[in-house]
Amino acid sequence: MTLLTILLLLSSSVQAVEYEHAVDFSRYKTWSWQAGVPVPPELVPDQRIRESMARGLAARGLSNVSSDATLLVRYHATRSTRIDLLPLDSGSGAPPTGIRYVETGSLVIDLLDAASGKVVWRGHASGVLRYGPKEIAAQIDAAVAELLARFPPGH
């Protein structure tokens, strides 16, 4: 892996968390998946994201229940391709055109108050995707862990 690729991987990772400051997050003890949210067509990442979320929420003391949850969980994930322009004199690792297509991914996690239906916490992670099932699984686990490390707020 070239130094430029490593720098792209490190610099392109973005994590952000927003939450309702007036909400008492200690009252949330249970969670379930929000009904009616479309499942992405790629089942492997969907399953991995769901498993990662379940582990992360359990580690924070929340129990997954099938009904009457205090917190509803949903996520949105996408991947896209962007064009990176490399310096023309970047050395032997650069394609001759100086253009590289890079696959990126984005994950948004929403936690909603079940009573009101309002989003009370949102986490967003995005970055360059690495290829291979183990690499993708590791990226999903890392993104979910980094986001949920900031839940509940002030924890």
Question: What pLDDT shows up at residue 43?
Answer: 61
Question: What pLDDT shows up at residue 73?
Answer: 97
Compute the distance between CA of residue 58 and CA of residue 136 in angstroms, rounded to an integer: 22
CB 75, CB 86: distance < 8 Å: no
Question: What pLDDT shows up at residue 12?
Answer: 42
Let me know if 123 is exposed, middle or buried by CB neighbors in 10 A (0-12, 13-18, 19+): buried
Q: Are strands 119-128 and 99-113 parallel, antiparallel or unpaired?
A: antiparallel
pLDDT in tens, the chain (155 residues): 333 333 333 334 678 999 999 999 999 999 999 987 776 666 668 889 999 999 999 999 999 999 999 999 999 988 889 998 887 766 666 677 788 888 888 999 999 999 999 999 999 999 888 878 888 889 999 999 999 999 999 76
On whether the pTM is more than 0.75, the answer is yes
Question: What pLDDT shows up at residue 57?
Answer: 98
- DSSP result, 92-128: TTS-TTSEEEEEEEEEEEEEEETTT--EEEEEEEEEE
Compute the distance between CA of residue 119 and CA of residue 52 in angstroms, rounded to an integer: 20
